[in-house]
Amino acid sequence: MKLLEHEAKNILKEYGIKVPAGVLIRSAEELIPHLSSLGDRIVLKAQVDVGGRGKAGGILMAERETAVKTADALFRKEINGLHVREILAEQHLPIQHEYYLSITIDRSSRQPLILFADAGGVDIEITAKERPEAIRKVYAPPLMRDIPPFMLRELAGSAPKEIIPVINKLYRVFCEKDALLAEINPLVTTPQGVYAADAKIIVDDNALPRQGIKMNRDLTSREREAEQYGFSYVELSGSIGVIGNGAGLTMATLDLIEHYGGKAANFLDVGGGAESERVMHAVQLVARLPSVRVIVVNLLGGITRCDEVARGIIAAGIPQKVIVRLAGTNEAEGRRLLTEKGYEMLDTMDLVVQRAVEVAV
Amino acid sequence: MIYGDRNTGILVQGATGKQGEFHIGLMNAYARQVGGKGVVAGVTPGKGGQQVHGVPVYNTVREAMREHEVTASVIFVPAAAASDSIMEEAHAGIECIVAITEHIPVHDTLKALAYAKMQGSIVIGPNCPGLLSPGECNMGIMPAQLATRGHVGVISRSGTLTYEVVDELTRAGIGQSTIVGIGGDPLIGQTFLDVLHRFEEDSETRAVVLIGEVGGTLEEEGAAATDLPVVAYIAGITAPPEKRMGHAGAIVEGSAGDARSKIEHLQSLGIPVAKRPSEIPTLIQGML
């Protein structure tokens, strides 16, 4: 889960990394008592989870006199379709130089990967293309609490030495907060020291319980329900609902729909051992997507009991057509139950998807 | 076949749990069918002295290894303790550790994999269905009845999609040497590269089916480093960016790991990429 900027900055502060003086406001009026402490120029940053937030108009600069008015305007905006509910109002930093710092886990070497670049404030992928020599990288040894000092020196290069402790502090954040990504872009030098002008932290979903972190965005009612039943669920925009078991098989079903000229409405992986009640909830959930005209159920596996699945589909009792492909234990019984109620069953993934595309158009 | 055969003695951690018990039953039914050793010992702390399907259960891996010859293990321990199980087994000297458990925090996996490497153990998974060498051994949760012995190696990040492909291969009369589910997590022990190198050393394996998905670049890295004939399939061509598609590792981050770039990269290496899973048997047939 990606933390919002102000949440990420609070963590950095906790670890001794300087962040600009700032205040989180939920209305323009809330800014008034803080105007004097934030300085002559104020940066207003919408707390929405949007990539390219600055370009989308989510970051505005204001003089102290006009800051409340500007904040009010920002609260009325939609940034890439998202309402602005919170704004982080910050002091404007006298920036001398901008750097880039990030830590991720490298899948290939199975080690933490630290990237530091002399060019900050721009997307690292752009720097990688245009000025690859500006990026330095180091793989940290996974079983140590800190990055060895020689590696830190190698990363920082000719950058001011005040940068070095910041790199290791971010590494502690990365390890102790179960981060998949910890990024400061830009990391800036000012006459008052080194500051994290922006911050991005993605916390491992599997570690949210032990980190005591709750989901920071409002789920739709369908997403909440999917979470409650333990389904992996993603909404898309097409007219063919999809229910599968296993992430790979479900993704392959989605791809096959596109291959045959249709568009999937969702991704739903019911997981292993799908018993009738779970299947019923999955079918009802997908049927509630307004765009869904037909649902494909593609379940396969040694321990999936086809009669259970069939009962779940029948119990769901939804108005849309359900087309089923089932393979596993008690296949004949599942087939009998579904055929009796007039459901269409087909033998292969290709056939079931082709039929659904026919029905959807 | 790779990683194990009918002489491999298997230890199961989390033996007395629902999953552990169920799959010890299946693994040993398969072992009886093919004349293999199968699961010889179970471990669950505090449950030493019990039996599961006739398999003795011990409190620690060390204790079990004093009584039995064990070279491989399968882990069904819940996520919070699974990385500890990996380390306990590596510490005890088990060569091949298969971690079935899903939802292990990545930082736990990071440390467990580093420790296992230090101890000279290899890890398959986590978040994987394990591996199956038809006619030899079943180390995990794959439905063995779908597979048949032959000369095609299968490597996959997925579970059910692997069963789908294995079923298609078997129906087309194409047998498999070993089927390895390497896991759907972003951080896994054995990657495509490692398994491909094993298949290169295996006299039975003549061609390999590589089943990948969005996220990371492990498919391309593996395929680029082998001279075995390979057919690939990549799931997730319709996966929207920045969304996790069921597997923790199945996510397109920035421009990295999307299906189209993977497919193009594989094709540039001269590897045929199936558009649909059902195309795989025809493509692989041409290579045998």
| Residue-range domain boundaries for chain A | 21-91, 97-211, 221-360
Judged by CB atoms closer than 8 Å, whether chains meet at A108 and B240 is answered as: no
CA torsion angle A317 B246 A4 A182 (round to 10): 170
Q: Does B161 touch chain A (CB under 8 A)?
A: yes
For residue A216, the model assigns a pLDDT of 65
In B148-267, which ranges are E strands?
149-156, 176-181, 207-213, 230-235
For residue A352, the model assigns a pLDDT of 96
State the nearest Cα–Cα gap between A213 and chain B, in angstroms: 14
Alpha-carbon distances, residue B194 vs A298, B93, B96, B106 (angstroms): 32, 20, 13, 20
Q: Which CATH number fits domain A21-91: 1.10.10.60, 3.30.1150.10, 3.30.1490.20, 3.30.420.40?
A: 3.30.1490.20
**DSSP conformation class of A35:** G
Q: CATH 3.40.50.720: which residues of chain B?
A: 9-124
Note the pLDDT tens digit of each residue in B112-170: 999 999 999 999 999 999 999 999 999 999 999 999 999 999 999 999 999 999 999 99
Q: Between residues 192 and 221 of chain B, which touch chain A (CB distance below 8 Å)?
A: 211, 213-214, 216-218, 221
Tell me which residues of B are annotated as active site: 247
Annotated catalytic residue A100: yes
For residue A273, the model assigns a pLDDT of 66
Q: Is there a contact between B134 and B144 (Cβ–Cβ < 8 Å)?
A: yes
Catalytic option among A5, A99, A171, A183: A183
Distance CA B87, CA B67 (A): 20
Give the residue from B23, B83, B160 with the most A CB atoms within 10 Å of its CB, the best one to mutate: B160
Q: Is there a contact between B35 and B28 (Cβ–Cβ < 8 Å)?
A: no
Alpha-carbon distances, residue B106 vs A111, B130, B193 (angstroms): 11, 19, 21
For residue A305, the model assigns a pLDDT of 82
Residues 6+ apart with CB under 8 A from B279: B233
Choose the closest CB to B114 out of A143, A210, A232. Answer: A143
Residues of chain A with pLDDT under 70: 216, 273-274, 301-303
Note the pLDDT tens digit of each residue in A151-197: 999 999 999 999 999 999 999 999 999 999 999 999 999 999 999 99
Q: CATH 3.40.50.261: which residues of chain B?
A: 147-285
Residues of B in contact with A237 (CB under 8 A): none
Residues 6+ apart with CB under 8 A from A255: B235, B236, B237, B238, B259
Q: From A257, which residue of chain B is nearest by alpha-carbon distance?
A: B238
Residues of B in contact with A204 (CB under 8 A): 105-107, 248
Q: What is the mean pLDDT of chain B?
A: 96
Q: Is there a contact between A159 and A187 (Cβ–Cβ < 8 Å)?
A: no
According to DSSP, the β-strands at B9-13 and B72-75 are: parallel
CB pairs below 8 Å between A and B: how many? Answer: 159
According to DSSP, the β-strands at A87-91 and A41-46 are: antiparallel
The sign one gets for the Cα dihedral A322, A323, A328, A332 is: positive
Judged by CB atoms closer than 8 Å, whether chains meet at A248 and B106 is answered as: no
Tell me if the domain spanning B147-285 has CATH number 2.60.40.10: no
Q: Is there a contact between A321 and A294 (Cβ–Cβ < 8 Å)?
A: yes
Choose the closest CB to B160 out of A175, A205, A246. Answer: A246
Residue for token digits 């033996």?
B15
Judged by CB atoms closer than 8 Å, whether chains meet at B104 and A327 is answered as: no
Note the pLDDT tens digit of each residue in A58-77: 999 999 999 999 999 999 99
Q: Does B278 touch chain A (CB under 8 A)?
A: yes
For residue A128, the model assigns a pLDDT of 87
In which region does residue A57 sit, left (phi positive, over 0), alpha (psi from -120 to 50) or beta (all else)?
left
Annotated catalytic residue A195: no
Judged by CB atoms closer than 8 Å, whether chains meet at A251 and B240 is answered as: no
Burial class (CB in 10 A: 0-12, 13-18, 19+), B142: buried
For residue A294, the model assigns a pLDDT of 97
- The fold of B9-124 is Rossmann fold (3.40.50)
- The fold of A97-211 is D-amino Acid Aminotransferase; Chain A, domain 1 (3.30.470)
Q: Does B66 touch chain A (CB under 8 A)?
A: no
Q: From B168, which residue of chain A is nearest by alpha-carbon distance?
A: A348
Judged by CB atoms closer than 8 Å, whether chains meet at A248 and B157 is answered as: yes
Residues of chain B with pLDDT under 50: none
For residue A274, the model assigns a pLDDT of 67
Q: Is there a contact between A34 and A89 (Cβ–Cβ < 8 Å)?
A: yes
Q: Between residues 175 and 194 of chain A, which touch chain B (CB distance below 8 Å)?
A: 175, 178, 180
For residue A331, the model assigns a pLDDT of 84
Judged by CB atoms closer than 8 Å, whether chains meet at A257 and B111 is answered as: no
For residue A327, the model assigns a pLDDT of 85
Residues 6+ apart with CB under 8 A from A14: none
Is A321 in a helix, a strand, or coil?
Answer: strand
Tell me if the domain spanning A221-360 has CATH number 3.40.50.261: yes
Q: Is there a contact between A236 and A264 (Cβ–Cβ < 8 Å)?
A: yes
DSSP lists the bridge partners of residue A179 as A203
Choose the closest CB to B161 out of A107, A234, A248. Answer: A248
Q: What is the ipTM of this complex?
A: 0.94
| pTM for this prediction | 0.94
